[in-house]
């Protein structure tokens, strides 16, 4: 039988390494979804990309995207999270958030979404196994530990490194930069450790999820290893992400959002 529901309109906030790939995939066609609008800081600089799309979307400022979309995908710098997400959830719509670290300082957006019937959806992003962490959290998780190793370019400019005057440019061997909670990691590394916050929100929260961050000149990928100890299971997970054009961002992040979008109207949906 035909599906008579109208297409879900999706808007993209930020046309960087993640947003460009999602927009292109939506334009190529995802069942039941339509790219309705995008926001870019300087749309003129994105003309070549925009004119390559088969059905060019409307270009709007980030705070207006919710007016023409059912789902807004936030893939902009983290300081814009509130500007993007607030109008979406106020209208009772869904925001897909990749700058998940910024949710910790803007957690009232979750209450706002609840009050207006909106939703905030965090994709697995550059990580792995949040389905298993979600499932384990239905029971009791005793501990979650994550160790991240990144090449130097994947960490440059992080506030923790700048504020502590750490020279990572001339490293010859791995250096442990940080050990602490996911909440502290998100403050010190806002553009580098969204994954730690996503892991914490799926499991036992940002104050009990423990994180180590290494600057490692011997790796070329963003490497994350996770150990979970729960009453239902013990599991270890690892992922080695190929950096995208943005060395801080793994290529798989955009693909994870695309997979999540595909599920919105999929007849068969696999994984939690
Ligand atoms: N959850 C996860 O697993 C992961 C999350 N991330 C996070 O996702 C977010 C996006 O990452 P990524 O795509 O690599 O970042 P990029 O820097 O490549 O892209 C961000 C884009 O947002 C644009 N932008 C800036 N200001 C505005 C504005 N006012 N209106 C519209 N667009 C604007 C930028 O434009 P311009 O270039 O002109 O400044 C840029 O194109 C980051 O916060 C990153 O930390 C990254 C990896 C994994
Ligand atoms: O969490 C992030 O912001 C990015 C990251 O580690 C990755 O892409 O591997």
Q: What is the pLDDT of residues 7-29, one digit of tens each?
A: 999 999 999 999 999 999 999 99
Q: What is the pLDDT of residues 210-235, one digit of tens each?
A: 999 999 999 999 999 999 999 999 99
Task: Give every residue of the chain whose pLDDT is below 50, as ranges.
Answer: 1
Give the per-residue pLDDT at 3: 57
8 A C-beta contact, residue 243 and residue 251? yes
252-263 and 17-28 helices, crossing angle to 10° = 40
Ligand 2 centroid, distance to 56 Cα (angstroms): 29
Catalytic residues: 224
37, β-bridge pairs: 11, 58
Quote the ligand 2 centre to 80 CA distance (angstroms). Answer: 18
Task: Look over the chain and give the mean of its residue pLDDT values, rounded to a whole number.
Answer: 96
Cβ–ligand 2 distance for 244 under 6 Å, the answer: no
Give me the long-range contacts of 42-45 (CB less than 8 A, separation at least 24).
Answer: none
- Residue 155 has a pLDDT of 96
Q: Which residues contact 107 (CB under 8 A, 6 or more apart)?
A: none
Pocket test for ligand 1, best of 13, 15, 77, 128 (most atoms within 8 A of CB): 77
- What is the pTM for the complete model shown? 0.96
CB 192 less than 6 A from any atom of ligand 1: no
Rounded CA gap, 46 and 52, in Å?
10
Q: Is 126 in the pocket of ligand 1 (CB under 6 A)?
A: yes
222 CB under 6 A from ligand 1?
no
- What percentage of the chain exceeds 90 in pLDDT? 97
pLDDT digits (tens, 9 = 90+) for 183-214: 999 999 999 999 999 999 999 999 999 999 99
What pLDDT shows up at residue 272? 77
> Is 215 annotated as ligand-binding?
no
**Model pLDDT, residue 5:** 80
ipTM surpassing 0.90: yes
């Amino acid at each position: 039988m035909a599906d008579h529901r109208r297409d879900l309109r999706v808007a993209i906030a930020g046309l960087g390494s993640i947003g460009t790939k999602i927009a292109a995939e939506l334009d190529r066609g995802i069942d039941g979804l339509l790219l309705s609008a995008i926001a870019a800081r300087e749309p003129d600089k994105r003309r070549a990309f925009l004119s390559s799309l088969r059905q060019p979307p409307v270009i709007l400022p980030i705070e207006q995207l919710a007016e023409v979309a059912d789902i807004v995908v936030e893939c902009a710098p983290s300081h814009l999270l509130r500007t993007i997400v607030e109008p979406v959830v106020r209208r009772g719509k869904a925001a897909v958030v990749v700058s998940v670290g910024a949710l910790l300082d803007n957690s009232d957006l979750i209450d706002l979404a609840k009050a207006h019937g909106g939703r905030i959806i965090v994709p697995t992003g550059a990580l792995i196994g949040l389905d298993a962490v979600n499932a384990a959290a239905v029971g009791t998780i005793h501990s979650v530990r994550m160790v991240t190793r990144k090449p130097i370019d994947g960490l440059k400019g992080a506030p923790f490194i700048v504020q502590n005057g750490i020279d990572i440019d001339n490293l010859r061997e791995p250096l442990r930069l940080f050990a602490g909670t996911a909440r502290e990691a998100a403050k010190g590394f806002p553009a580098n450790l969204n994954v730690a916050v996503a892991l914490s929100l799926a499991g036992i929260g940002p104050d009990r999820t423990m994180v180590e961050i290494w600057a490692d000149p011997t790796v070329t990928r963003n490497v994350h290893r996770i150990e979970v100890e729960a009453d239902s299971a013990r599991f270890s997970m690892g992922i080695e992400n190929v950096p995208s054009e943005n060395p801080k961002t793994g290529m798989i992040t955009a693909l994870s959002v695309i997979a999540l979008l595909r599920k919105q109207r999929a007849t068969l949906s696999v994984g939690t």
